[in-house]
Copies of this chain bind each other. A is one copy, B any other.
Amino acid sequence: MPEISPEPVAVIGASGALGFGLAVRLALAGVQVAIGSRSEQRALETAERAAAVVPGGVFASHDNAGAVRAAGTVILSVPFRNQSETLANVRDALRAGQLLIDATVPLAAAVSGKATRMLGVWQGSAAQQALEMAPEGVRVVSALHTVSATSLSDLDHDLAQDVLVCGDSRADKREAAELIERIDGLRCVDCGRLEMARTTEALTALLIAVNSRYKVHAGIRITRLPERLWE
């Protein structure tokens, strides 16, 4: 196990498949994880489940607002149908200066539609909705939509793929990339401003179609990039 980082990272929605996968992979990389769930009981169960997967990992369990308070960086990994309510519930816990990595995907499945279709979000994307709902000064970056939850949770799976990162501040994107790249096999690529999240979010639906066609857990690679992406 690598050395444990001093500041915990909150994973909001860690009981869900993507959140759980991120929690165990981050813990494996030596990051303390504040497991957030709507109920403290659910968070506790999830933390126990995560600790069984990564016995050396450091997990704390909280309700969502508690996880936000306990952490520096917050990863928001909830179903789209809960994103707005969750952000409203943790609004008082969020602090100016906190980094919020939004991984929400507005799949049509949120309203009983197909998982290969997207919902239109008035702000343009779930990430832009997060930016609008978060308190002033919270730094919002969009990432992690193309990484399969199943692949993350299976620690034997060699991820070997890119994470498409969008945001309006280069420094914020770099900070998110530094955290995400602690997970073995993930390389972060700067894909432009936060508004580009409408495309990176839609890639989830595209990969769901590809996965269904080929019975795989596919990811994305951007070709021909230089070696150093975040100097």
Which A residues are closer than 8 A to B by beta carbons?
116-118, 160-161, 164, 189-193, 195-196, 198-200, 202-203, 205-207, 209-210, 213-226, 229
Contacts and interface: CB of A to CB of B under 8 A. Distances in A.
Given A191-B210, A210-B225, A220-B220, 18 more contacts: A116-B192, A116-B193, A160-B223, A190-B210, A191-B209, A192-B206, A192-B210, A193-B209, A199-B206, A214-B226, A215-B226, A216-B225, A216-B226, A218-B223, A218-B225, A219-B224, A220-B222, A220-B223
A222 B218 contact: yes
Contacts of A195: 117
A205 B200 CA distance: 11
Contacts of A193: 116, 209
Contact of A209 (B196, B205, B217, B218): B196
Q: 6 tightest A-B contacts by CB?
A: A192-B209, A221-B221, A219-B223, A199-B202, A161-B223, A199-B206
A160 B123 CA distance: 36
Nearest to A228: B214
